[in-house]
Structure 1
Amino acid sequence: MLDYEYQELRFPRGTSRNVARQALTEHAEYGRWELARVRVYLDGSRHVTLRRRIIRQMRTM
Structure 2
Amino acid sequence: MLGSRDCGGDAGAAVADGSAGDGGAAGASPAPARPRWAPSDDYEYQPLRIDPRVSRSAAASMLAIRAEFAGWELARVLKFPDGTRRVWLRRKRSPALLPDLIP
Range into which the TM-score falls when normalised by the shorter chain: 0.7 to 0.9
Q: Which has the higher contact order (CA 8 A, sep 6+)?
A: 1
Secondary structure of the 2:53 match is coil
Match of residue 4 from structure 1: 43
Match of 2:91 among 29, 32, 52: 52
The structure with more strand, counted as a fraction of residues:
1
1:39-61 CA distance string (max 9 Å, x none): 0001110011000001226xxxx
For structure 1, the 5+ residue unaligned runs are none
Q: How many residues align?
A: 56
SS at match of 1:14: coil
TM-score w.r.t. the length of structure 2 is 0.51
1:2-61: CA deviations, max 9, x gaps? 61110011111111011101100000000000000000001110011000001226xxxx
Q: Where does the alignment leave 5 or more consecutive residues of structure 2 unmatched?
A: 1-40, 97-103
The alignment partner of 1:27 has SS state of helix
Pick the structure with greater CA Rg. 2
Q: Identify which range, 26-35 or 4-13, moves more after superposition.
A: 4-13
Q: Distance in 2 between matches of 1:24 and 1:41?
A: 18
Provide runs of 4+ in structure 1 moved above 3 Å: none
